[in-house]
Amino acid sequence: MGMKFSESLKKNQQFRTVYEQGISYANRYLVVYGLENGLKRNRLGISVSKKVGNSIVRHHLARLIRENYRLSEDLYREGFDIVVIARVSAKKADYHNIGKSLIQLSTKLGLLKNREME
């Protein structure tokens, strides 16, 4: 089984579709939207608004989210557009908090493969 590379959602319209048609859950640090995309792969979009911080803070958070997703990607079912929004409180979160938040919300959304939780 080779490496899976999910694509990024880049276009504003792609994000809007996920916001309008997808379902979302939120916790302290993140809001995650999920929407089936009819493809054999997932597409990840990350949104960190200026309210969260300056560009350095925003890029740092986006990298944390992307890296957490990348490392847990094999837990995810295929065929979803996933949009992750960092909340203002996320700038106080570390790598593990972000990872836990992402998995927790992805689980609620049913994005993870069905298997026993460790």
Euclidean distance between CA atoms 23 and 82, whole angstroms:
10
Q: Which residues contact 88 (CB under 8 A, 6 or more apart)?
A: 51, 52
Q: Work out the burial of residue 90: count CB atoms within 10 Å of its CB; fewer than 13 is exposed, 13-18 middle, 19 or more buried.
A: buried
Q: Region 5-14: what's the mean pLDDT?
A: 85
Look over the chain and give the mean of its residue pLDDT values, rounded to a whole number.
92
pLDDT at res. 115: 61
As given in the structure block, the two tokens for residue 34 are 């999920």
Euclidean distance between CA atoms 90 and 74, whole angstroms:
24
**75 or 117: whose pLDDT is higher?**
75
pLDDT band of residue 5 (cuts 50, 70, 90) is low
Nearest to 78 by CA among 113, 33, 103: 113
Helices (H) and strands (E) counted in the chain, each on its own, are 3, 5
pLDDT at res. 7: 81
pLDDT at res. 118: 43
Query: How do 80-86 and 23-26 pair as beta strands?
Result: unpaired
Would the pTM of this model clear 0.75, i.e. be above it? yes
Structural domains for the chain: 7-108 (3.30.230.10)
Instruction: Give pLDDT tens digits for 23-60.
Output: 999 999 999 999 999 999 999 999 999 999 999 999 99
